[in-house]
């Protein structure tokens, strides 16, 4: 890919994938790449046949031929330039550019909605500049339906709740937003800071702590037909925060709400990723002090009071989860890099927060392009 991918999703046709990258672009690619024979004709007639320069760049003008102040400044910049940046080769596989943001893209979702008796697709994208954009699906992805606006800080994660038209977003704000994305309407804000502080016993959080949402997942609950659980992870916090989809949909238009409907499930390490697995949650951890607990299972059920009940953390090595998961937990547990390098790899969400002369979050700083 031309830039580092930040989100990948397989489309419902199971033949195409959508890829969003840090530069702000979204591409569609075939899930199964075409064979080399399909590209022989294209390779014979490349799209750009302009020859590359074979010699170093030399400035033709001089101080004797340039007189105005503006042109002298341009000449000085050219004289400092050693050579032009080499042109990048075009991607050598089938791909289509669907849409782009002027800001750094952070997350993407492809969703379906029934409109006039037909299922229509939409691409939801989030960026560093607090935007959540709703675009049409291909081949009309260049058409913007609207924006979900309300965040004051970056948006790092967005998640559709089941197959509903509820969207949950989070990032650098102290709250997560519950949206009716089809109407671009913010239904409510659920503030997490107090709940996060309540589980941080070993490492107390100061009052000026700014949380960063590192993950939002929606998983079905096995004991019910339509209920889903929303799972939220906060960067460098050893816990998952759970809330039922019915609680998200309850009491819309009530503005700010506390996290009383949420359950905090403490873990032996910082959660890195979560996925639904046989009716439970499979969680991977950054648990460098105990290599036997890098993968584990957390069960989620609905209790007699219609609240969430989370089971105790169970290591995959002590549960019948299959040989593949057991192997993932047992092999290659030796550290090959330093803790600083792992921190840079695992915990990059907080770096999305803008900093400027006016203070964090109050700057006109443009998005930084990342390879």
Q: What is the pLDDT of residue 52?
A: 54
* Reduced 3-state DSSP string for 5-38: EEEEEECCCCCEEEEEECCCEEEEEECCCCCHHH
CB atoms inside a 10 Å sphere around CB 90: 11
Distance (Å, whole) CA 237 – CA 195? 11
Pairing of strands 300-302, 295-298: unpaired
Do residues 218 and 300 make contact, with C-beta atoms less than 8 angstroms apart? no
Q: What is the pLDDT of residue 322?
A: 60
Distance (Å, whole) CA 134 – CA 124? 5
Distance (Å, whole) CA 180 – CA 249? 10
CA atoms within 13 A on the CB side of 240: 34
Q: What is the pLDDT of residue 123?
A: 97
- Mind listing the pLDDT tens digit of every residue in the chain (371 residues)? 888 999 999 999 999 999 999 889 999 999 988 764 555 444 444 444 455 555 565 666 677 677 788 888 887 887 776 555 666 677 777 889 999 999 999 999 999 998 888 899 999 999 999 999 999 999 999 999 999 999 999 999 999 999 899 999 999 999 999 999 999 999 999 999 989 988 876 666 777 888 999 999 999 887 676 789 999 999 999 999 999 998 898 877 767 787 888 999 999 889 999 998 878 888 988 887 765 677 888 888 776 565 777 877 777 666 655 666 666 666 656 667 788 888 888 999 999 998 765 444 444 443 434 44
Do residues 31 and 16 make contact, with C-beta atoms less than 8 angstroms apart? yes
CB atoms inside a 10 Å sphere around CB 116: 5
Distance (Å, whole) CA 349 – CA 213? 7
Task: Kindly provide the b/e burial profile for residues 186-217, where b requires at least 16 CB atoms within 10 angstroms of the residue's own CB.
Answer: bbbbbebbebbbebbeeeebeeeeebbbbbbb
Do residues 213 and 175 make contact, with C-beta atoms less than 8 angstroms apart? no
Distance (Å, whole) CA 291 – CA 54? 53
Alpha-helical runs (H) found in 22-148? 40-44, 69-80
**Global pTM value:** 0.78
Do residues 258 and 194 make contact, with C-beta atoms less than 8 angstroms apart? yes
């Amino acid at each position: 890919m031309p830039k580092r991918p930040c989100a990948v999703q397989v489309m419902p046709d199971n033949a195409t994938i959508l890829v969003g990258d840090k530069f702000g672009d979204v591409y569609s690619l075939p899930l199964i790449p075409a064979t080399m024979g399909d590209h022989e004709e294209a390779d014979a007639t490349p799209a750009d046949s302009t020859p590359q320069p074979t010699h170093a760049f030399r400035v033709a003008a001089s101080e004797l031929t340039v007189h105005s102040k503006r042109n002298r400044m341009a000449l000085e910049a050219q004289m400092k330039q050693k050579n032009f940046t080499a042109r990048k080769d075009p991607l050598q596989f089938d791909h289509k550019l669907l849409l782009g943001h002027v800001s750094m893209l952070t997350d993407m979702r492809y969703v379906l909605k029934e409109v006039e008796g037909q299922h229509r697709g939409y691409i939801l994208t989030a960026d560093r500049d607090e935007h959540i954009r709703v675009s049409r699906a291909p081949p009309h992805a260049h058409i913007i339906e609207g924006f979900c606006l309300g965040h004051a800080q970056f948006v790092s994660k967005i998640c559709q709740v089941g197959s509903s038209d509820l969207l949950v977003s989070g990032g650098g704000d102290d709250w997560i937003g519950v949206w009716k994305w089809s109407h671009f309407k913010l239904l409510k804000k659920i503030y997490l800071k107090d709940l996060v502080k309540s589980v941080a016993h070993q490492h107390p959080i100061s009052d000026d702590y700014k949380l960063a949402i590192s993950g939002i997942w929606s998983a079905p609950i096995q004991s019910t037909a339509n209920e889903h659980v929303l799972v939220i992870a906060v960067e460098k916090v050893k816990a998952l925060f759970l809330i039922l989809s019915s609680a998200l949909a309850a009491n819309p238009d009530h503005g700010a709400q506390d996290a009383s409907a949420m359950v905090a499930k403490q873990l032996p390490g910082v959660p890195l990723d979560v996925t639904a697995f046989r009716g439970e949650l499979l969680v991977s951890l950054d648990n460098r002090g105990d290599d036997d607990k890098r993968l584990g299972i957390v069960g989620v059920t609905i209790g007699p009071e219609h609240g969430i009940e989370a089971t105790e953390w169970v290591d995959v090595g002590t549960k019948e989860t299959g040989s593949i998961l057991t192997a993932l937990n047992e092999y290659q547990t030796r550290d090959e890099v330093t803790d600083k390098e792992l921190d840079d790899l695992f915990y990059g969400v907080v770096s999305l927060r803008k900093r400027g002369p006016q203070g964090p979050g109050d700057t006109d700083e443009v998005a930084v392009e990342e390879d």
